[in-house]
Structure 1
Amino acid sequence: MKNTITKLSVMLLAATTVLTACGGNNNNNASGGNAAATEAPAGNTAATDAAKKDVSFTIGYASGDPATKKAIADTVKKFMEANPNVTIKDLSETSSAAYLDWLKTKDAVGEFPDLVEMRDTQVFADAGKIVELPADLLDLFESPPQVDGKVWNAPMQVNAPQGIIYSKKAYADAGITELPKTYDEFIAIQEKLKATGISPLVVGGKDIFHMGFWVNKFLIDDVYSKDPDWNSKRTAKTVSFADPDVVQGITDFKELFKNYVDKGWLSTADNQTASILVSGKAAQLFSGTWMFTQIAEADPSFEFGFYAVPDRAGKLNVIGLPSPAGWSLSTDAAKDADKTEAIKDFIRFFFEPEQYSVYLASINAIPSTKEKVTYETSEQMQVALDLIADTNVTKSLAINNWWGDNLIPPQFRNWYYKLLQDMVVNDADVTDYMKKADTEYDNQVKANSM
């Protein structure tokens, strides 16, 4: 899958303003894109609706990112308009709680969604809560990742790099004329920004998932870029969070937060970061490509750039490997033939070019489907595509996105992020806190094996 993404992205780079990739659908941006250039496959039509039974199903997805929530909600609305016999009840997560915890709560009260955006696939597959992706949907995608030799998801997009979204005005005011080539140069830029009186970085630490952006930047640089199987070794107790490589990364994380992150980070929500950036209260935000549209909508005149933060040796390491995530059918829903067919119709509809192109463009995502998809892309998105296409850039996953032997205990990610928040707030010793991480990790592994 990695090679496929790279080849497709190289093909995209031939045109600097248009995204073209192996995708099963097209996506229009605010200006309309060029989805019309792609012929949509046959989908659900009004002529066939009359012969279909009335059916309803629930859908659950993460809504921490407003752009993604709107894109999915709009697709659900369009599907029901095109299929009046189908009613979809939206169960999207609306709190600041972790998505995994939200899903577990829904399951506990008997409200596990019929169609669910699955991120912790192995956890729910092992628990028997989801079924394999129906065989007649597999051909929509190009070699989707497997867990235990099975495909459980209709991947909604390919993982895209995260990086620094920066105000061009703030950089110009600080006399910054070149992007950093090493991490030390990146820190020098923070000092220049700080000297102008602006907060160098805004962080939405109120939402625990947002903490993962910076945490994983350092873990990828110092751990996963060198050893993608580190998680499995931690489970086997042959490596430790207190080892020098992890301690170095988390020390850099702590120093960055102490010295350059806006002081209100712990009470700032992810959905506030775009407005803080465009208002000039902060100069930079470390996040993903989905933020580009939100920033442009917050202030169409705001000029911003995007780049990956290099490590100390000047190497670029980014999120970019495929992972098993996407739309999954619940085990209970799969027992109902009519409901299953309606869900399959929705999945096909979601990935049709007309709908899928709108979804992709609204969150600046990379398509996952076989069929070609095109949409106009921005200067910032082109940087992300360049990173994916560059074979010299190391592609990795976040701590909780690995699977198989590298799967971490499902509750550990959020616990670890909160531990690091506490470490920063209390200016605590990094090694001491990493020893706490070892103890908790082992306890959770043991608890999950019982």
Structure 2
Amino acid sequence: MTKNTITKLSIMLLTATTVLTACGGNNNNNASGGNTATKPASETPAANADAAAKKEISFTIGYASGDPATKKAIADTVKKYTDANPNVTIKDLSETSSAAYLDWLKTKDAVGEFPDLVEMRDTEVFADAGKIVELPADLLDLFESPPQVDGKVWNAPLQVNSPQGIIYSKKAYADAGIAELPKTYDEFIAIQEKLKTAGITPLVVGGKDIFHMGFWVNKFLIDDVFSKDPDWNSKRTAQTVSFTDPNVVQGMTDFKQLFKNYVDKGWLSTADNQTASILVSGKAAQLYSGTWMFTQIAEADPNFEFGFYAIPDREGKLNVIGLPSPAGWSLSTEAAQDADKTEAIKSFIRFFFEPEQYSAYLATINAIPTTKEKVTYDTSEQMQVALDLVADANVTKSLAINNWWGDNLIPPQFRNWYYKLLQDMVMKDGDVTDYMKQADTEYDNQVKANSL
């Protein structure tokens, strides 16, 4: 694959977001000001930036670091920026526990440590709470049609959402006599049986980190729910559909059976950052995860041969993560009140998305760029599969349950509660329908609590 291929693909994807995002033009109520009237030279953004560059400035930055590759990519860029701008100090507040990122951010807010620049994933939640401001108007031109919430852009998008799938050991597949990749979900299960019969643990799961549970949960929700009804969340909020409906019960039954029969027994105490080493050591044959794992696996063992594919549903269709969502760097409301701090943060964002830095970030996590300016990097065999999935019009693109917005936004605490409910269901061999009744009750309670 040539470097230009990924650039052309990313532009095609981002241009397509104009039909997916909310209507409305750029709003002028930005922290940087939207007034286009002529200003004195001393009040122009360039003059402000020059003035800020002469001062000692510090700001805090917060981002999710459950994935080691992403943490390293961001930390490397922060260091490059501060090396180039010695007057600016950036305090790293990256989340380092196995707690949910949303909960970590809420805790930081409660103790008065909400980051000045924050990787925002639950944009609508924090925008409604008045914790973040719109992306400054003079940064909008960096990106090609970034997703909007209520007609406003709140984020500098870090990357386009990439498909998740099975990362598998080619040696393990060969040892188990697996010569072809599955064309249906039943064929995928047959592969698990072959691995098991050959004495090979089929799957490793980093269940200690709650975010990791979402990979498998959403695989089945996308296949059985969202690929057929992208507005299911809004209907659940309106109580016109239920977690006890046959399609959801089928998906969660498949989830439970997969975990009971083919996942390594220590999955609940295994951290996400352990999964790469478990895979390359041969202790498990497969990992279901995203493209950010490719670099980690290659670094864990450069000689480890692995492949990547999306798991088909029962009808043989491919349904993957792939729609854009409003997420990325956001400026806190408090930081936006400080003109010097705002200019320093804007300077960092521009630096982050410069091709030299941004290409290194993208290459580290195998991601698709969001910028208008061309950004290239060498891609692997595995990443090419992911790019082909995104480019294939016959592959249904979707989002995880918690990444929808607008009318399809779920209660912010429900995702983690639901993932933990499913962990409990597997460990206790619980009845799927009974557990889905609990999900309905909790969902409605959270909707009611959030409306008060």
Would you say same fold, with TM above 0.5?
Answer: yes
Structure 1 counterpart SS, 2:202: strand
TM-score (norm 2): 0.90
Deviation sequence 1:188-235 (CA, Å, 0-9, x none)? 000000011111000000000000000000000000000000000000
Q: Residue 126 of structure 2 contacts residue 132 of structure 2 at CA under 8 Å; is this kept in 1?
A: yes
> Which of 10-19 and 329-338 deviates more?
10-19
Q: For 2:361 and 2:242, locate their aligned partners in 1 and report how far apart those are by CA, in whole Å.
A: 40
1:318 deviation in Å? 0.2
Aligned Cα root-mean-square deviation (Å): 7.1
Q: Residue 317 of structure 1 contacts residue 394 of structure 1 at CA under 8 Å; is this kept in 2?
A: yes
Q: For 2:413 and 2:153, locate their aligned partners in 1 and report how far apart those are by CA, in whole Å.
A: 23
Q: Residue 31 of structure 2 contacts residue 136 of structure 2 at CA under 8 Å; is this kept in 1?
A: no
What 5-or-longer segments of structure 2 have no aligned partner? 36-40
Match of 2:25 in 1: 24
Deviation sequence 1:406-431 (CA, Å, 0-9, x none)? 00000000000000000000001000
Q: For 2:409 and 2:96, locate their aligned partners in 1 and report how far apart those are by CA, in whole Å.
A: 26
- Match for 1:87 among 86, 89, 99? 89
- Cα distance, 1:428–1:18 mapped onto 2, change above 3 Å: closer
Match of 2:203 in 1: 201
Q: Residue 117 of structure 1 contacts residue 326 of structure 1 at CA under 8 Å; is this kept in 2?
A: yes
Q: Residue 21 of structure 1 contacts residue 374 of structure 1 at CA under 8 Å; is this kept in 2?
A: no
Deviation sequence 1:155-186 (CA, Å, 0-9, x none)? 00000000000000000000001000000000
1:10 deviation in Å? 9.6
1:9 deviation in Å? 5.4
Q: Residue 25 of structure 2 contacts residue 152 of structure 2 at CA under 8 Å; is this kept in 1?
A: no
Q: Residue 27 of structure 1 contacts residue 353 of structure 1 at CA under 8 Å; is this kept in 2?
A: no
- Cα distance, 1:21–1:273 mapped onto 2, change above 3 Å: farther
Q: Residue 22 of structure 1 contacts residue 142 of structure 1 at CA under 8 Å; is this kept in 2?
A: no
1:368 deviation in Å? 0.7
1:97 deviation in Å? 0.2
Match of 2:38 in 1: none
Q: For 1:359 and 1:24, locate their aligned partners in 2 and report how far apart those are by CA, in whole Å.
A: 30
Q: For 1:244 and 1:183, locate their aligned partners in 2 and report how far apart those are by CA, in whole Å.
A: 18
Aligned residues: 445
- Cα distance, 1:403–1:12 mapped onto 2, change above 3 Å: closer
- Match for 2:412 among 410, 413, 430? 410
1:8 deviation in Å? 2.1
1:54 deviation in Å? 1.2
Q: For 1:369 and 1:27, locate their aligned partners in 2 and report how far apart those are by CA, in whole Å.
A: 21
Superposition pairs of residues 316-355 of structure 1, within 5 angstroms: 316-355=318-357
- Cα distance, 1:435–1:17 mapped onto 2, change above 3 Å: closer
Percent sequence identity is 90
1:52 deviation in Å? 2.2
Structure 2 counterpart SS, 1:62: coil
Q: For 1:102 and 1:73, locate their aligned partners in 2 and report how far apart those are by CA, in whole Å.
A: 19
- Cα distance, 1:16–1:217 mapped onto 2, change above 3 Å: closer
- Cα distance, 1:18–1:372 mapped onto 2, change above 3 Å: farther
Q: Residue 159 of structure 2 contacts residue 370 of structure 2 at CA under 8 Å; is this kept in 1?
A: yes
Q: Residue 9 of structure 1 contacts residue 385 of structure 1 at CA under 8 Å; is this kept in 2?
A: no
What 5-or-longer segments of structure 1 have no aligned partner? none
Q: Residue 15 of structure 2 contacts residue 145 of structure 2 at CA under 8 Å; is this kept in 1?
A: no
Q: For 2:118 and 2:312, locate their aligned partners in 1 and report how far apart those are by CA, in whole Å.
A: 35
Match of 2:60 in 1: 58
Q: For 2:299 and 2:415, locate their aligned partners in 1 and report how far apart those are by CA, in whole Å.
A: 32
Deviation sequence 1:359-387 (CA, Å, 0-9, x none)? 00000000011111110000000000000
Q: For 2:27 and 2:266, locate their aligned partners in 1 and report how far apart those are by CA, in whole Å.
A: 39
- Cα distance, 1:139–1:14 mapped onto 2, change above 3 Å: closer
Structure 2 counterpart SS, 1:89: strand
